[in-house]
Amino acid sequence: MRAVIQRVKKARVEVKGETVAEIGPGLLALLGIAKDDAIEDAEKLALKIMNLRIFEDDAGRMNLSALEVKGEMLVVSQFTLLADTARGRRPSFTQAASPEVAIPLYEHFVEICLAAGMDVKTGEFQARMAVSLVNWGPVTIVLDSKKSL
């Protein structure tokens, strides 16, 4: 499972010109699920993201997590994070999970965040979405559950 995390002042998702989710200060999590991912990947990644100390304390140091600052989280599925560009110019997405595998893992990821006390909004799975954000910092971090978290 891969994620691109962005610390944001605000973010929103539109589907067919209508806003389906919107957050204020917090995290935008673009989430890509691989066909070999399991529940453990969702749990490990969710805990890592919520507890990343990427918000500033009173001294201006990145020392606080989204949980500590009561930040919101917008989770958007993005299978293109699993793109393989090793051959040719057209990305291959063969490592991306099918919807039958990805949807339950995506939902489990969101449930873990909600259970921890995060205010979580989501995009619309398998929809063509317009994601807009104001990156705060900027802070952008790439995580992979198959690598050391």
Angle between helices 99-115 and 39-51 (to 10 degrees): 40
The amino acid sitting at 46 is A
Given 6, 79, 109, 122, which residue is catalytic?
A: 79
Given 6, 19, 55, 78, which residue is catalytic?
A: 78
Q: Is 80 a catalytic residue?
A: yes
Tokens of 136: 């705060």
Cβ neighbors of 14 (< 8 A, separation 6 or more) are: 20, 129, 130, 132
User: What does the pLDDT profile of the chain (149 residues) look like in tens digits?
Assistant: 999 999 999 999 999 999 999 999 999 999 999 999 999 999 999 999 999 999 999 999 999 999 999 999 999 999 999 999 999 999 999 999 999 999 999 999 999 999 999 999 999 999 999 999 999 999 999 999 998 77
Q: How many CB atoms lie within 10 A of CB 78?
A: 20
Domain extents in the chain: 2-141
Q: Which fold has domain 2-141?
A: D-tyrosyl-trna(Tyr) Deacylase; Chain: A; (3.50.80)
CA distance linking residue 148 with residue 20, whole number of Å:
34
- Give the predicted TM-score (pTM) of the model: 0.95
Q: Is 79 a catalytic residue?
A: yes
